[in-house]
A and B are shown apart, each in its own frame.
Chain A
Amino acid sequence: MRKLSKVSIYLCVIFICLLCLIPFLVLIILSLNSPQRVFYEGNMFIPDFYLKNFAEGWVKSNIGSAMINSAFITALALIIIVLLCSMAAYTIARFKYRFNTLIFAVFISCMMIPGIINTVPLYTLMIKLHAVNTLWGMALVCAALAIPQSTFVFHGFIKSLPRELEESAIIDGCSWFSSFWRIVFPLLKPAASAIIILNGFGIWNNYSQAVFFLQDSKKHNVPQALSVYFQQFAGAKWNLMAATAVIAIVPVILAFLLFQKNLIRGLTEGALKG
């Protein structure tokens, strides 16, 4: 009886894993089909290994430059998030000034508001700031959206660090500000890596803000470039669509494989501490 239930658990898990993998396998098959093969003659599971799709998709979709844009936006936003939020979390966690409490209360209560709610007025503001169709503008928008939660995670982490760490430095004549950078900031690595990984994927994949703020084809990020490229096909040229989608998701999958341990740890710690 025990054995039987163990076998059924394995079967369930294998089935679920296949369910998660099949769309990707099909995508790879489709991306390797030649343009002439539309109706899956022969065995539909054996593709034509037509590699020109990737070259053509790469050139025509502009995905290369979109990846550079996405990388720039993601990197800049993450630097801003880590620097600003760790600083804010430090003073909030250590000093009970009234405006620290107020700022934290504002962050907590706005944490749940999704970005789409303020996107339209933000769009008019961005036009005034000449920040539409700029990578730095998009990075600032993405960073701002991540501030409440990141401050919250850093805050929880700093609270768990003993205050004595900095106090000995203060006695030696170090200011609180510089003791933060010298002593506390280097210790924030686990929290920072969780925040970087969690927000990194989200910013790289951002579409609902990119639709507004990155309309110029030279400034497209990856989802924007892909959606514009796919829209011109209106459902035709599947081989190219599939090949470009493969190109678009490969960096994300590689990053995921590289960071998955930290990602899952960060996700559970960051989430459950709330």
Chain B
Amino acid sequence: MKEKRIGLHTFMAIPAFILYSIFFLYPLAKGIGMSLTDWDGITKAHFVGLDNFIQFFKDKRAVNDIRTTLIFAMGSAPLLNIVGLGYALLMDSKIKGKGIARMLIYLPAVISPLIMGYIWYLLLQPGRGFVFHFLDNLGRGAWFGNWTASYANSMLVLVLVNVWQYAGMTMVIYLAGLQAVPLELYEAARMDGATAPKRFRYVTLPLLIPSIRINVVTNIIGSLSVFDIIMSLTGGGPGYKTESLSIYIMRMCYGSKTGYSTAVALIMFFIILIPVLVSMRLTKAKPME
């Protein structure tokens, strides 16, 4: 079968590559050039060197947005993994109705995060939401303060809603990882007298590394590029406090600061790249001993 004929099969990767080049690679490369200009999207662009980048770090709103994005990710990504792993451990035990429970827990993850944000808004709006009225009927309305006025509380609500929505997704991946752990290993560890926490630490956890890797990486990327849920839940408020970098890019682009917003996108690219590379390094598959 060593026929050296050039057939159509030689070119089968080209259509996918062309589409990807036009709609992804070319704009990505062009963005680097645009980030060095003061282009407003309409008139002629002037080369400004690294001005946009300098301007970015001088802009209080931009620096605040980096902080918000990082806080959101540092809350969301670990919590999603802890909660998802907890759910998976619960669901890995022999119980009835597991299939239905898994389905219900996963359900929020297929719904648009934008719409989910609106739904939570109807529940949580201060002084008017369903939860407030529920507490108010119990005479405990005062428990429910105006969280939208406080940066810390707004961030807390955003992180919790995000974790609520996507815990099912991390759970499903951890569950698959847990089910791949051979039962004999547990038995052997039990025979050796390992306690449950020790079995988890020395048997389960090392074998979960592939699941941890995929969950950590996807959650870091997902939470650092958060957009929808903030748009619908707080709209970036109070003020611009809970605005994420993605929203900032969109608003700057609409504000005719095209060159500047591509510079922000490049900065965001590195903000995502670094933790992703670090976490991939840390969870690199080690050969089994």
Our pick among B8, B17, B172 for the contact of A264 (Cβ within 8 Å) is B172
| A175, CB-defined interface residue at 8 Å | yes
Find chain B residues with CB under 8 A from A124 CB. 30, 34, 41, 258
Annotate A159-170 by CB proximity to B: 1 below 8 A, 0 otherwise.
Answer: 000000001001
- Given known contacts A30-B130, A116-B265, A145-B24, A85 and B16 CB-to-CB distance under 8 angstroms: yes
B260's closest neighbor in chain A, by CB? A120
| B43, CB-defined interface residue at 8 Å | no
Q: How many A-B residue pairs have CB under 8 A?
A: 273
- Given known contacts A87-B15, A120-B249, A212-B250, A20 and B173 CB-to-CB distance under 8 angstroms: no
Find chain B residues with CB under 8 A from A117 CB. 28, 31, 265-266, 268-269, 272
Annotate A215-243 by CB proximity to B: 1 below 8 A, 0 otherwise.
Answer: 00000001100110010000100100110
Find chain B residues with CB under 8 A from A21 CB. 104
Total interface residues on B, using CB and 8 Å? 92
CA distance A264 to B173 in the complex (A): 9
| B125, CB-defined interface residue at 8 Å | yes
Main secondary structure of the interface of B (DSSP, over half): helix
| B199 shortest CB reach to chain A, Å | 15
Main secondary structure of the interface of A (DSSP, over half): helix
| A49, CB-defined interface residue at 8 Å | no
| B18 shortest CB reach to chain A, Å | 9
Annotate B246-259 by CB proximity to A: 1 below 8 A, 0 otherwise.
Answer: 10011001000010
| A253, CB-defined interface residue at 8 Å | yes
A267's closest neighbor in chain B, by CB? B172
Total interface residues on A, using CB and 8 Å? 96
- Given known contacts A17-B105, A177-B7, A180-B9, A118 and B217 CB-to-CB distance under 8 angstroms: no
List 15 additional contacts besides A17-B104, A241-B122; criterion CB under 8 Å: A16-B105, A44-B130, A113-B269, A117-B265, A118-B31, A143-B23, A147-B16, A147-B24, A167-B1, A205-B114, A207-B113, A245-B115, A245-B122, A249-B111, A252-B112
Nearest first, the 8 A-B pairs at minimum CB distance are: A144-B23, A268-B176, A205-B112, A177-B8, A176-B9, A88-B16, A91-B12, A122-B27
Can you show 19 pairs from A to B with CB atoms below 8 A apart? A6-B93, A17-B105, A24-B119, A85-B16, A91-B12, A92-B13, A97-B10, A112-B221, A117-B28, A121-B34, A147-B24, A180-B12, A205-B115, A227-B114, A227-B231, A248-B112, A268-B173, A272-B180, A272-B211
Q: Which residues of B contact A (CB under 8 A)?
A: 1, 7-13, 15-17, 19-20, 22-28, 30-31, 34, 41, 87, 90-91, 93, 95, 97, 100-108, 110-116, 118-120, 122-123, 125, 128, 130, 133-134, 137, 164, 168-169, 172-173, 175-177, 180, 210-211, 214, 217-218, 221, 224-225, 227-228, 231-232, 246, 249-250, 253, 258, 261-262, 265-266, 268-269, 272-273, 276
